[in-house]
């Protein structure tokens, strides 16, 4: 197959580029390589009959190179756009037809796997980075992006690099840089070589020598997640700073949904709770699961569903569990409005940072196990005034809920995070009574959370039949 492909390439070369009267002759090429001709040293003296070259002396491996490329290089030697004391006299004595034949022969040979090159792990890592990714901070593209995946070569202008000898490659890079070689398209290689350090040139040359074309890219080690921390007090922008125009209107709609979910997201809300009931000050308050802290923390892996979850999917979970309703589709206006609102609240917050004030301040396990009986007393004295003695919330004259029900059919279902006693205790300790957060002791918060949790509520929809 390869032989045929090369032959076809040689033919094209012959017909198109050289306007020669005949196709490349492999056997003529082989004869020249083996024996040379009057005044022409045999190529095999340095490159070997099969074009495997010589690692120690830095003679390149020609086997498997593109015939057009080999031809082009011979021409370059002839016309001094590539300087080499050995090759120049040879190239000057070869006819174009001879060049073609030699090129076709070497191209038809199979390159042997590299041997004897043993770079260190560090060198491989650096070399691989340059080969695959480049150094774009200095405008250096990765070798593979032009020379093809794993450096297998692309056409006749981007030769195969894989398995080439490292000292040869390194010499070439230095030659580009010094201008001894200047036969590259658009001065690309010259520019690249001048932007690489000596160490980088060595590393990439050694990596290319040992890399397997068909090998899989080695798995990068991967670090433990170390999140950037943002320990200052983050302040979301003023409401008065919401911009004019369509984007601002979308942010405002998101805020309205957040503020009065049953009315503004009627299709998706399944109870009478609003987002702001759990996220105080409409998602702004630090320590009350503020939306600016959540926004920059997604997408993230969630243990809860064993999935990498986007902010939209996180919002859908809120609707499903805390709202006991239906998740708004990701491309619904409700979703875009909420995401726009969160995004706007997070203006200036560093993407991916662990923001101080995220979630509810964590509580340790209490000294005494949470006690719902003592919780009932705390509820009566501290919670009932707003949430009602029966925990069913309080409505205004129009019938809408001013204070949310904490259990029963109109509250969050048992799939909601707030159904976990620990989380509820953390919320209560930091944020309840409303406007007087911190009034209860940690133990009181645990107890009242246990009391709230001891009541029936709609079932987890994942467990419904």
Segment 387 to 406, residues that bind a second copy, using CB under 8 A: 394-398, 400, 402-403
Segment lying near a second copy (by CB under 8 A), choices 53-61, 75-83, 94-102, 350-358: 350-358
Contact 391, 457 (CB under 8 A): no
- Residue placing its CB nearer to a second copy in the complex, 94 or 440: 440
**Site pattern 142..161 for a second copy (x: CB under 8 A):** ---xx-xx--xxxx-xx---
- Residue placing its CB nearer to a second copy in the complex, 143 or 425: 143
- Residue placing its CB nearer to a second copy in the complex, 295 or 321: 295
Query: Is position 361 an interface residue for a second copy (rule: CB under 8 A)?
Result: no
Gap between the Cα atoms of 337 and 332, Å rounded: 9
Question: What is the full DSSP assignment across 154-199?
Answer: BTTTB---TT--HHHHHHHHHHHHHTSB--SGGGHHHHHHHHS-HH
Residue 322 C-beta: closest distance to a second copy, Å? 18
Query: Is position 221 an interface residue for a second copy (rule: CB under 8 A)?
Result: yes
The token pair at 219 is 């798995």
The token pair at 241 is 């700073």
Gap between the Cα atoms of 77 and 90, Å rounded: 9
Phi then psi dihedrals of residue 51, to 5 deg: 70, 25
Query: Is position 197 an interface residue for a second copy (rule: CB under 8 A)?
Result: no
Question: Quick one: DSSP state of residue 16?
Answer: I
**Site pattern 233..262 for a second copy (x: CB under 8 A):** --x---xxxxxxxxxx-x------------
Instruction: List C-alpha distances in Å: 96 to 14, 17, 20, 41, 435.
Output: 10, 11, 9, 16, 90
Query: Is position 331 an interface residue for a second copy (rule: CB under 8 A)?
Result: yes
Query: Is position 424 an interface residue for a second copy (rule: CB under 8 A)?
Result: no
- Residue placing its CB nearer to a second copy in the complex, 104 or 349: 349
What is the separation of C-alpha 71 from the centre of its chain, rounded to a whole number of angstroms? 41
Contacts 24+ apart (CB under 8 A), 403-407: 403/434, 404/272, 404/273, 404/274, 404/277, 405/271, 405/272, 405/273, 406/452, 406/455, 407/452, 407/455, 407/456, 407/457
- Residue placing its CB nearer to a second copy in the complex, 287 or 366: 287
**Site pattern 54..93 for a second copy (x: CB under 8 A):** ----------------------------------------
**Restricting to residues 201-220, which ones interact with a second copy according to CB under 8 A?**
220
Residue 87 C-beta: closest distance to a second copy, Å? 23
Residue 98 C-beta: closest distance to a second copy, Å? 26
- Residue placing its CB nearer to a second copy in the complex, 43 or 275: 275
Question: Helices in 36-183 by DSSP H: which ranges?
Answer: 44-47, 67-78, 87-93, 96-108, 121-132, 143-147, 166-178
Segment lying near a second copy (by CB under 8 A), choices 35-43, 93-101, 114-122, 186-194: 186-194
Query: Please, what is the Cα angle at 368 between 366 and 371, to 5 degrees?
Result: 100
**Restricting to residues 426-465, which ones interact with a second copy according to CB under 8 A?**
433-437, 439
**Restricting to residues 260-299, which ones interact with a second copy according to CB under 8 A?**
280-282, 284-285, 292, 295-296, 298-299
Segment lying near a second copy (by CB under 8 A), choices 67-75, 81-89, 172-180, 301-309: 301-309
Reference 28, options 16, 19, 36; nearest CA is 36
The token pair at 297 is 């923390």
């Amino acid at each position: 197959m390869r032989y045929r492909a090369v032959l076809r390439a040689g033919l094209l070369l012959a017909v198109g580029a050289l306007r020669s009267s005949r196709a490349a002759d492999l056997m003529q090429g082989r004869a020249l390589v083996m024996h040379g001709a009057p005044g022409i040293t045999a190529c095999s003296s340095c490159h070997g009959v099969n074009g495997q070259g010589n690692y120690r002396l830095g003679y390149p491996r020609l086997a498997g190179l593109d015939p057009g490329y080999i031809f082009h290089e011979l021409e370059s030697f002839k016309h001094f756009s590539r300087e080499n004391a050995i090759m120049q006299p040879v190239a000057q004595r070869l006819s174009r037809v001879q060049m073609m034949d030699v090129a076709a022969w070497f191209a038809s040979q199979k390159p042997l796997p590299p041997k004897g090159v043993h770079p260190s792990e560090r060198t491989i890592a650096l070399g691989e980075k340059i080969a695959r990714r480049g150094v774009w901070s200095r405008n250096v593209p990765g070798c593979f992006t032009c020379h093809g995946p794993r450096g297998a070569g692309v056409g006749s202008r981007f030769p195969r690099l894989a398995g080439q000898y490292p000292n040869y490659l390194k010499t070439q890079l230095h030659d580009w840089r010094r201008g001894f070689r200047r036969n590259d398209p658009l001065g690309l290689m010259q520019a690249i070589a001048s932007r690489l350090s000596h160490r980088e040139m060595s590393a990439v040359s050694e990596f290319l020598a040992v890399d397997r074309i068909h090998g899989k890219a080695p798995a990068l080690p991967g670090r433990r997640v170390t999140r950037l921390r943002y320990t200052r007090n983050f302040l979301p922008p003023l409401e008065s700073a919401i911009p004019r125009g369509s984007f601002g209107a979308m942010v405002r709609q998101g805020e309205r949904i957040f503020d009065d979910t049953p009315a503004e997201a009627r299709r998706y809300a399944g109870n009478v709770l609003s987002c702001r009931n759990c996220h105080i000050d409409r998602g702004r308050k630090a320590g009350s699961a503020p939306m600016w802290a959540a926004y920059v923390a997604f997408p993230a892996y969630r243990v809860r569903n064993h999935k990498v979850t986007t902010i939209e999917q996180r919002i859908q979970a809120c609707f499903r569990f805390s709202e006991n309703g239906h998740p708004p589709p990701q491309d619904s206006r409700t979703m875009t409005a909420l995401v726009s609102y969160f995004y706007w609240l997070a203006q200036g917050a560093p993407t991916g940072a662990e923001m101080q004030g995220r979630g509810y301040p964590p509580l340790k396990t209490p000294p005494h196990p949470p006690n719902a009986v003592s919780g009932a007393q705390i509820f009566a004295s501290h919670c009932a005034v707003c949430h009602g003695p029966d925990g069913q919330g309080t409505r205004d004259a129009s019938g809408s809920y001013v204070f949310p029900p904490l259990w029963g059919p109109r509250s969050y279902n048992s799939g909601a995070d707030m159904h976990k006693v620990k989380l509820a205790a953390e919320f209560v300790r930091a944020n309840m009574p409303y406007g007087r957060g911190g009034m209860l002791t940690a133990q009181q918060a645990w107890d009242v959370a246990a009391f709230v949790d001891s009541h029936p509520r709609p079932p987890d929809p994942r467990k419904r039949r």
